[in-house]
């Protein structure tokens, strides 16, 4: 009899059906249904939440990637001027440890300034970079220059010789700085002295184009100009106040920073470069550290909260299988008396719980992917319904509702990044938790004494 039970999967299936019974089924019982629904909802929510946060992180990294330099080298001596910047660039480009990690190394100028228009002053950040050709600028081939979206090609051809500037696209809407407008820039120029204080350079510039990076802060405050024009404007002659590096990967910034300090501390570099010890390095990840850390913390906390839904469903599975075992004690006793091994009883109830977990994982996984892909559309419909019904309650005082303010977060649609390996990991974890939840009551069922069970029931 034991051999018969062990060798026939069909008998094992029929045995499971006999244990579940014809009217009260373990899979379709009320408690199992609740556990199934809670686990499926938990898996779906976890996939949606993580997909949105992954999308936000990807969007942020893309905006950081396009928003300018990744590594900045500055000097604390000579008023911030770096006079030997060409030599420093050659050292960096020839360093074997850095060569495979960087795309470009260039000198530039960055400074705070003011834009004056109609007796109104607007604070801006002025950045000057080398522009070797207008074609490379328009075709987005300059690593240190953001993507230009609106421009006057004729004026851009004179960017290295005349007073032309390129503004962030958001400044066109914020301050009404349209193409071809004349603006007055004021920046600190020359050296600081106790007698005269800080000299100020003032000059008129013409807007010849607009750029867009996808970073709202960057596009609403930065002003670009060519390096030769800026050196005259800032009275820095052939110097710069920073060396900028574009890296191949944002994940290599910390390593690249360590390699740069190693180069600066080398004996050959210190002998060749004046004020080598005054050079400092900072990365864009350090500048945005608080934002990235806050986003990661929110992602972790919400993931833990949502994962508790799956834990709750697993606990419900324990109660469901315990109820099933109590309801079918007599059937279990009969089958054990006929020779069904305790290991098969254990397997039947464990698989019963895992089957619920598999179905819940598949349902939640498919539902989560569908919701994540359709979330932007769903939110749009909800906004339309709210804005359609809202005026009927408040009248003319109604302000249109935007559930996800795209201007604040600066994206065209809700960013979603579905990670297939993560979905597989979540569904597998839910299935394993279901199996573990079913194991303990199944173990109790396997340990039941058939004689006592049949006599008592």
**Same domain (yes/no): 267, 319:** no
Indicate whether 363 pLDDT > 70: yes
**Same domain (yes/no): 231, 108:** yes
**Same domain (yes/no): 36, 163:** no
Indicate whether 449 pLDDT > 90: no
What's the confidence (pLDDT) of residue 197? 55
Q: What is the 3-state secondary structure (H, E, C) of the chain?
A: CHHHHHHCHHHHHHHHHHHHCCCCCCCCCHHHHHHHHHHHHHHHHHHHHHHHHHHHHHHHHHHHHHCCCCEEEEECCHHHCECCHHHHHHHHHHCHHHHCCEEEEEEEEEEEEEEEECCEEEEEEEEEECCCCHHHHHCCCCCCCCEEEEECHHHHCCCCCCCEEEEEHHHHHHHCCCCCCEEEEEEEEEEEECCCEEEEEEEEEEEEEEEECCCHHHHCCEEEEEHHHHHHHCCCCCCECEEEEEECCHHHHHHHHHHHHHHHCCHHHHHHCCCHHHEEEEEHHHHCHHHHHHHHHHHHHHHHHHHHHHHHHHHHHHHHHHHHHHHCHHHHHHHHHCCCCHHHHHHHHHHHHHHHHHHHHHHHHHHHHHHHHHHHHHHHHHHHHHHHHHHHHHHHHCCCCCCCCHHHHCCCCCCCCCCHHHHHHHHHHHHHHHHHHHHHHHHHHHCCCHHHHHHHC
**Which residue range is the domain that position 325 belongs to?**
8-61+291-456
What's the confidence (pLDDT) of residue 194? 47
Residue-wise pLDDT tens digits, 198-247: 677 889 999 999 988 777 778 888 999 999 999 888 888 888 989 988 88
448 occurs within a structural domain: yes
**Same domain (yes/no): 306, 444:** yes
Mean of pLDDT values over 379-386: 81
pLDDT category, 1, cuts 50, 70, 90?
very low
**Same domain (yes/no): 240, 139:** yes
**Same domain (yes/no): 255, 114:** yes
Task: Compare 275 and 124 and report the one with higher pLDDT.
Answer: 124
151 occurs within a structural domain: yes
Residue-wise pLDDT tens digits, 103-131: 888 899 988 899 887 778 889 999 998 88
Domain boundary among 255, 277, 299: 277
């Amino acid at each position: 009899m034991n051999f018969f039970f062990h060798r026939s999967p069909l008998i094992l299936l029929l045995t499971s059906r006999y244990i579940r019974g014809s009217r009260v089924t373990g899979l379709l019982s009320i408690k199992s249904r609740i556990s199934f629904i809670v686990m499926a909802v938990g898996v779906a929510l976890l996939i949606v939440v993580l997909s949105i946060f992954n999308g936000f992180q990807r969007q942020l990294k893309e905006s950081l990637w396009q928003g300018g330099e990744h590594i900045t080298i500055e000097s604390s001596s000579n008023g911030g001027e770096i006079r030997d910047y060409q030599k420093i660039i050659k050292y960096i480009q020839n360093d074997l440890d850095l060569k495979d990690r960087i795309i470009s190394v260039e000198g530039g100028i960055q400074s705070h300034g003011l834009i004056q228009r109609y007796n109104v002053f607007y604070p801006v950040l002025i950045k000057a970079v080398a522009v070797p050709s207008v074609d490379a600028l328009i075709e987005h081939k300059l690593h240190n220059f953001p993507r230009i979206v609106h421009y006057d090609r004729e004026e851009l051809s004179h960017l290295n010789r005349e007073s032309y500037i390129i503004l962030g696209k958001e400044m066109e809407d914020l301050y009404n700085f349209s193409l071809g407008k004349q603006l007055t820039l004021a920046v600190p120029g020359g050296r600081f002295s106790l007698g005269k204080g800080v000299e100020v350079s003032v000059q008129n510039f013409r807007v010849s184009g607009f750029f867009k990076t996808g970073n709202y802060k960057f596009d609403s405050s930065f002003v670009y100009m060519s390096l030769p024009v800026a050196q005259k404007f800032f009275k820095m002659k052939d110097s710069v106040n920073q060396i900028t590096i574009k890296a191949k990967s944002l994940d290599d910034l910390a390593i690249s920073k360590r390699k740069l300090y190693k180069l600066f501390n080398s004996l050959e570099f210190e002998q060749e470069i004046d004020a080598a010890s005054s050079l400092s390095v900072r990365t864009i990840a350090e500048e945005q550290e608080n934002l990235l850390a806050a986003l990661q913390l929110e992602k972790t906390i919400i993931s833990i909260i949502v994962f508790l839904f799956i834990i709750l469903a697993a606990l419900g599975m324990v109660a469901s299988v315990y109820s099933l075992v109590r309801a079918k004690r007599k059937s279990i006793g009969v089958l054990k008396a006929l020779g069904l091994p305790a290991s098969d009883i254990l397997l039947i109830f464990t698989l019963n719980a895992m089957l619920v977990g598999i179905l819940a994982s598949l349902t939640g996984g498919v539902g989560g992917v569908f919701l994540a892909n359709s979330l932007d559309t769903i939110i749009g419909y909800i906004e339309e319904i709210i804005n359609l019904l809202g005026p009927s309650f408040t009248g003319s005082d109604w302000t249109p509702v935007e559930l996800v303010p795209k201007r604040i977060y600066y994206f065209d649609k809700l960013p979603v990044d579905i990670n297939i390996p993560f979905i597989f990991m979540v569904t597998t974890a839910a299935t394993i938790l279901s199996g573990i939840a079913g194991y303990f009551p199944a173990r109790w069922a396997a340990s039941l004494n058939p004689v006592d069970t049949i006599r008592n029931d």
